């Protein structure tokens, strides 16, 4: 059986792109006993991938090594099995990487029930959903009546954070990068307000929405939106940090915001990464499933076709031109 995969062959100093990957064509031998052969259907493209290719070893996950298949989340179908852990036709999800086929050991990928669309298992019922729920509810300790602000609010995580927040009784304002995204947040997802960080006066907008300050802030972006949120926090407010995409590709160092606000307003700042919390995923997905059944979660997918296009499609993440969760379709279900 012929396979195609992409390996990391150079570490970027700036933006990650096609020049850092090499396509490998290979023939797969017979499937070994104790393993299953998976055909990948979708792979996920995420901002965290930029950190995964860094040489740094002090992060929450080891870096991808040069010559290795590029790491990514994915979903697929078991084509052949020589293990009791799964059977042909099963849907599986986990770290598939940028490949059309892969042979896995029991436990390497997770078998999921066919209760939703297969792509939902790397979306609302995958890492983005788990990140949104855990970050807001567990790390952020969201409470009804509070004011919640989200940067990157139209992204795969931010859009879910806002909807979960609304279901819990919070007032929600999102910050995004286009008017179309802001309209989607308010008109379709139920956000109370949205600001366009490219055109709106963020301080004026935040003060108008939250004259007493922001109680809980969910950070995905950094840069100008983060600075505005920091300036507009309420006393004893909490800031939860999920990502800082504006800084992932290097470039000029921005002015440091007035960090004295942390002391003056007695703020709590907390960063988190979901690999520390895999044990909580089943309980989180139960709660997300309930919200889906109640019609309280909407989700938008941005799907590009062709594994060969994955290295170039990554740029949509850092330009902010993706509309929802960014996926690449590797094969048809």
Q: Does residue 295 register a pLDDT over 70?
A: yes
Using alpha carbons, select from 7, 128, 5, 135 the residue that is nearest to residue 73.
128
Shortest CA distance to 204 belongs to which of 245, 173, 236, 166?
Answer: 173
Mean pLDDT of 59-78: 94
| DSSP H or E segment with residue 210 | none
Q: What are the pLDDT digits (tens) for 186-205?
A: 999 999 999 999 999 999 99
What CA dihedral angle connects 311, 71, 326 and 138, to 10 degrees?
Answer: -150
pLDDT mean over 291-301: 92
How large a percentage of the chain has pLDDT more than 70?
Answer: 98
Nearest to 80 by CA among 32, 122, 113, 114: 32
Phi-psi region of 319 (alpha: psi -120 to 50; beta: other; left: phi over 0): alpha
Dump pLDDT digits (tens) for 144-174. 999 999 999 999 999 999 999 999 999 999 9
| DSSP state for residue 136 in the 8-state scheme | I
DSSP string, 144-177: TT-EEEEESTTSTTHHHHHHHHHHTT-EEEEEES
Asked if pLDDT for residue 90 goes beyond 90, the answer is yes
Strands lying side by side in the sheet with 233-241: 193-196, 171-176, 147-151, 214-219, 233-241, 268-271
What is the pLDDT, as a whole number, of residue 162? 98
How do residues 9-25 score in pLDDT, each as one tens digit? Answer: 999 988 888 999 999 99
Angle at the Cα of 283 from the Cα atoms of 40 and 238, rounded to 5 degrees: 105
303, pLDDT greater than 90: yes
Q: Which of 184-193, 293-302, 307-316 has the highest mean pLDDT?
A: 184-193
245 vs 140, residue with greater confidence: 140
Q: pLDDT band at residue 250, thresholds of 50, 70 and 90?
A: low
Confidence class of residue 330 from pLDDT cuts 50, 70 and 90?
Answer: very high
C-alpha span between 255 and 10 (Å, rounded): 30
Least-confidence region, from 45-59, 77-91, 214-228, 277-291: 45-59
pLDDT at 252: 58
With 0-12 / 13-18 / 19 or more C-beta atoms within 10 angstroms meaning exposed / middle / buried, residue 224 is middle
Q: Which of 54-58, 106-110, 136-140, 235-239 has the lowest mean pLDDT?
A: 54-58
Question: Looking at residues 121-127, what average pLDDT do you find?
Answer: 93
Q: Give the C-alpha separation, 12 to 250, whole Å.
A: 10
Reply yes or no on whether the pLDDT at 242 is more than 60.
Answer: yes
Q: Which domains are present in the chain?
A: 2-122+299-329 (3.90.180.10), 127-275 (3.40.50.720)
Check residue 26 and give its pLDDT.
97
Q: Check whether 254 has a pLDDT greater than 70.
A: no
Helix axes 202-209, 223-231, angle to 10 degrees: 40
Listed residue (46, 218, 49) closest to 132, CA to CA: 218
pLDDT of residue 321 exceeding 70: yes
Average model confidence (pLDDT) across the chain: 94
Q: What is the DSSP string of 67-89?
A: TSBPP-EEEEEEEEESSTT--TT
Residue 253 has pLDDT above 60, yes or no: no
The predicted model scores a pTM of 0.90
């Amino acid at each position: 059986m012929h396979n195609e995969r992409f390996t990391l062959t150079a570490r970027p100093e700036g933006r990650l792109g096609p020049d850092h990957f090499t396509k490998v064509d290979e023939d797969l031998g017979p499937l070994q006993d104790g393993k299953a052969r998976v055909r990948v259907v979708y792979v996920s493209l995420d901002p965290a991938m930029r950190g995964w290719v860094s040489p740094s070893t002090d992060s929450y996950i080891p870096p991808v090594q040069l010559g290795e298949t590029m790491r990514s989340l994915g979903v697929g179908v078991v084509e052949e099995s020589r293990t009791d852990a799964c059977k042909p036709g099963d849907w599986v999800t986990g770290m598939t990487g940028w490949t059309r086929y892969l042979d896995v050991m029991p436990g390497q990928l997770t078998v999921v029930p066919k209760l939703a669309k297969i792509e939902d298992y790397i979306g609302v019922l995958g890492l983005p959903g788990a990140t949104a729920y855990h970050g807001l509810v567990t790390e952020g300790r969201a409470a009804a009546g509070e004011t919640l602000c989200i940067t990157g609010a139209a992204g795969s995580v931010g859009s879910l954070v806002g909807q979960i927040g609304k279901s819990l009784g919070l007032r929600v304002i999102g910050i995004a990068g286009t008017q179309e995204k802001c309209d989607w947040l308010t008109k379709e997802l139920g956000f109370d307000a949205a600001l366009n960080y490219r055109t709106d006066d963020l301080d004026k907008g935040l003060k108008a929405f939250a004259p007493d300050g922001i109680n809980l802030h969910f950070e995905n972006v950094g840069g100008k939106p983060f600075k505005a949120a920091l300036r507009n926090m309420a006393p004893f407010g909490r800031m939860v940090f999920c990502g800082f995409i504006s800084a992932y590709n290097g470039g000029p160092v921005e002015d440091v915001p007035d960090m004295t606000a942390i002391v003056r307003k007695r703020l709590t700042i907390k960063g988190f990464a979901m690999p520390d919390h895999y044990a909580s995923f089943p309980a989180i997905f139960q709660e997300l499933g309930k919200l889906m059944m109640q019609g309280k979660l909407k989700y938008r997918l941005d799907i590009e076709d062709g594994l060969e296009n994955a290295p170039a499609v990554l740029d949509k993440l850092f330009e902010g031109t993706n509309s929802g969760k960014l996926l690449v379709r590797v094969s048809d279900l």
